[in-house]
Amino acid sequence: MFTGIVQHVGTVRNVARRADACALSVDAGPVAEGAAAGDSICVDGACLTVTGASGPLLSFDVGAETLRRTTLGELHEGARVNLEPSLRVGDRLGGHFVSGHVDGVGVIRRKDELSGEVRLRVEVEPALSADMVMKGSVAVDGISLTVAGLERDAFEVSLVPYTLAVTTMGHKGPGDHVNVECDMIGRWVKRVLEGGTAQVQGRPLSIPELEDQGF
């Protein structure tokens, strides 16, 4: 579990292709401190497991499924990536709950500089935008952002100067691909309201029962 608050922008030091998978070596800077094999790190919005740690360098194995569903297959030596270690009990939740399970890949179509902010327009599949709500949360390359505009095949977010300075968004523009994860709480609420899998003893939960479960 993550918060979408990027703690460091790391640099890819090596990408070793292995058939349909690959191994990554990333200079994670301060994020590597105390990290050990088995730990979870959010890399550009995708939850990866540390396979090795040596000083500031962290190693990860990336499977074929992850490469197909995220932008990690586009990484190369020298690429910059957003990094966040997994949330610990008692940590401050500054963003929103991010699972690191990317829902889809979007394409930046516009990056407009406005007064005090940059407006980003990202094109996505309609099935992805259907899981978003105005003013709801969305993670873009692992960054917790607020949906500021929403259409059938695109959404917009606003980036303040600080976010541009401390994440990779300051270097991305039209044509670039980004990992997108919709707000998991909103997605579960939608599933329940549409008659999803929230059941007990083979029957849907009632509204009072949902409230008892914390919905």
Residue 93 lies in a domain: no
Confidence of residue 90 (pLDDT cuts 50, 70, 90): confident
Residue 208 lies in a domain: no
207 pLDDT exceeds 80? no
Asked if 74 and 109 sit in the same domain, the reply is no
Q: How many domains does the chain have?
A: 2
**Domain around 118:** 104-182
Q: pLDDT for 63-81, tens place per residue?
A: 999 999 999 999 999 999 9
Q: Residue 142 maps to which CATH number? A: 2.40.30.20
Residue 204 lies in a domain: no
Residue 91 lies in a domain: no
The arithmetic mean of pLDDT across residues 137-159, rounded, is 97
Decide which of 179 and 214 is more confident.
179
pLDDT number for residue 200 = 45
In contact, 46 and 70? CB cutoff 8 Å: yes
The arithmetic mean of pLDDT across residues 12-30, rounded, is 95
pLDDT number for residue 201 = 47
Confidence of residue 91 (pLDDT cuts 50, 70, 90): confident
Residue 199 lies in a domain: no
Asked if 65 and 127 sit in the same domain, the reply is no
Asked if 61 and 123 sit in the same domain, the reply is no
Residue 143 lies in a domain: yes
pLDDT number for residue 195 = 65
Asked if 108 and 156 sit in the same domain, the reply is yes
Closest alpha carbon to 212 in 198, 201, 202: 198
Q: pLDDT for 151-206, tens place per residue?
A: 999 999 999 999 999 999 999 999 999 999 998 877 777 666 666 554 444 455 45
Residue 97 lies in a domain: no
